[in-house]
Chains A and B, each alone.
Chain A
């Protein structure tokens, strides 16, 4: 029988340590909506999403009330739009129409974000893919809750450097198009290598082509819970440290699994996966950087940070995999700068640089996330940063991503404000030496050798 200590532990996790289910994301296939006529395409998209997801928000709120546990976000991910809109969209404006349709249906069903304004171009781009990418500055500035992603590389295909070069310009243009709001358009755009098909987290969520008609994916969270658990084992050896993280991750994931099963039953939509990611928020006490500090670092970014993060990430997976048979998505620790107060503090103290963040991304999901850089950063420099991050993913057979914001009109040391869960970020200095000639070569980087691992 359950005892008092266990009950109290669970109650405290929810009340004081910010244990929550970060997101219920419904993946919806739009493959059956393809149509050569743009108005017909938009109608079909609106109708299918509305029909499938109309109860998502109310059921999410019902479960949150019944289990007394917050479910922070309800979201939708859809089939990458470039796959279904190719025959209907002839211009970038046509793609913007589709983005606006997604925006309006998402608002009508009441979700926080809709993801999947995406293109998968890891080897090369179709005209439809390229047009969608070129429409991003308009699409992201004229919509509010549409999220976009582009997969530009994979371990099996190599890196599409033409797309990387194009995205450097697109990110700059998106920053300009949303200059009045600290370039917030870039916050809704992720560039991936090895993007997963079942990621429930934004801005990178899309409903992969290998998925069914509709699916529910759940993202758990709980950096605050892990931090509190570690406070009780200060000074203990690594075995104790690992054991504590593992047990805590197990408990957190089980809550996600419970909510996932319940949501699946009530909505009559199959359960897909639980994503184990430790996802921070700007709230005090909900920080991944604070866990690293609790392990014994003065600030995130100090020597030892990569090792601490590797350990954390691995133990979270070990505990989580035991708790749920269907683990997927990104499943790792997120290290976004703007969404994590501990990371922001580390940057302000000068403890954390983009280069150290890049090293940290080798051992955790996802990548350079929510990093604000000076508005005058060159497009080729942004492409260079993306290429570096994609190479880490390609060689190490892991997902990596870049969500970088060249904040228009601001320089290193200034501050950008994105609001809500997106948080705020100090503008970080960027290595200003040129990579123009490298980025401008054109073509693609071949797939790596799959043997001779060193």
Chain B
């Protein structure tokens, strides 16, 4: 399985998860895990997703998701392949 990690950070508003999930569903990305908290009005979400069936190149998805966050929702979205976190934080 080819996994990526998506983080969403920003001011809480209605429909953040809905918009991100719809976007992912349209591109064949399956969500494996979601954890989410709101601290002091700031929305924090981390998603682990399966990108094996992604319908476009990974970097295009990552760029357009970042853009979606910045321009339409008003939050910061970051997408990274899971390997980079695994290699950095696990021995």
Contacts and interface: CB of A to CB of B under 8 A. Distances in A.
Interface of A: 1-2, 4, 6-11, 65-69, 251, 254-255, 257-258, 322
B14 to A, nearest CB: 22
Contact of B84 (A1, A4, A10): A10
Interface in B37-91: 44, 46, 48, 58-59, 62, 78-89, 91
Contacts of B88: 6, 10, 251, 254-255
Contact of A2 (B78, B79, B85): B85
A67 B84 contact: yes
Q: Is the interface of A mostly helix, strand, loop or mixed?
A: helix
A12 to B, nearest CB: 10
B46 A255 contact: no
Contacts of A4: 7, 35, 44, 46
Given A7-B7, A11-B80, A66 B87 contact: no
A65 B66 CA distance: 14
Interface residues on B, range: 20 to 34
A104 B91 CA distance: 43
Contacts, number: 58
Given A4-B7, A4-B35, A4-B44, A11 B78 contact: yes
Nearest to B37: A4
B29 interface: no
A1 B47 CA distance: 12
Q: Which of A66, A69, A255, A322 has the most CB of B within 10 A?
A: A66
A8 B87 contact: no
A255 B87 contact: yes
B81 A66 contact: yes
Contacts of B58: 65-66
Given A2-B86, A10-B88, A10-B89, 7 more contacts: A1-B33, A6-B85, A6-B89, A7-B80, A65-B59, A68-B78, A257-B87
Nearest to B81: A67
A384 B32 CA distance: 65
Shortest beta-carbon contacts, A-B, top 4: A65-B59, A254-B87, A6-B89, A258-B87
B66 to A, nearest CB: 10
Q: Which of B33, B58, B80 has the most CB of A within 10 A?
A: B80
